[in-house]
Amino acid sequence: MGKPTFRYFDFNNNVFTIDKLKVDYQPLTKETSFTGKYEGGKAAKGKLTQKQLDTINSKIEHIKDSKSLKVKKRSGQCSMLLVYGEESTKKMLLVESTDQKKIEDLLKAAVGID
């Protein structure tokens, strides 16, 4: 994979890295989880369609414009999105919402996770 377009960290800190239409899923392991008990499954790779990526980008733009969909401090009840630009990285801490859920659902589907 080249330079990522964005990274999405779900509520459990499993990481989805998106580079153009490619998705790489890196789950948390028992060894790296806070409790030592959680395991996020197996690493996986997948692809997005351009339509799916456009939907995700639309959700990201809506989240960027909405103060109510973001928080300032990360807790166990939020996910994190890192959006990589040409010269900067935008970090957003997301509360559970339909936009956040849609992004996560599309990413999970792309790598074959329920």
Domain ranges of the chain: 6-78+100-111
Query: According to the model, what pLDDT value does residue 114 have?
Result: 76
At 93, which helix (H) or strand (E)? strand 89-95
Report if pTM > 0.75: yes
Query: According to the model, what pLDDT value does residue 109 have?
Result: 95
CA atoms of 107 and 6, how far apart (whole Å): 12
Query: According to the model, what pLDDT value does residue 71 have?
Result: 74
CA atoms of 110 and 78, how far apart (whole Å): 22
Query: According to the model, what pLDDT value does residue 1 have?
Result: 55
* Residue 52, helix vs strand vs coil: helix
The answer to whether residues 40 and 32 touch, using CB atoms and an 8 Å cutoff, is no
- 41: exposed, middle or buried (C-beta count within 10 Å: 0-12, 13-18, 19+)? middle
Query: According to the model, what pLDDT value does residue 47 have?
Result: 96
Sites in the chain below the pLDDT cut of 70: 1-2
CA atoms of 90 and 63, how far apart (whole Å): 12
Query: According to the model, what pLDDT value does residue 80 have?
Result: 92
Query: According to the model, what pLDDT value does residue 10 have?
Result: 93
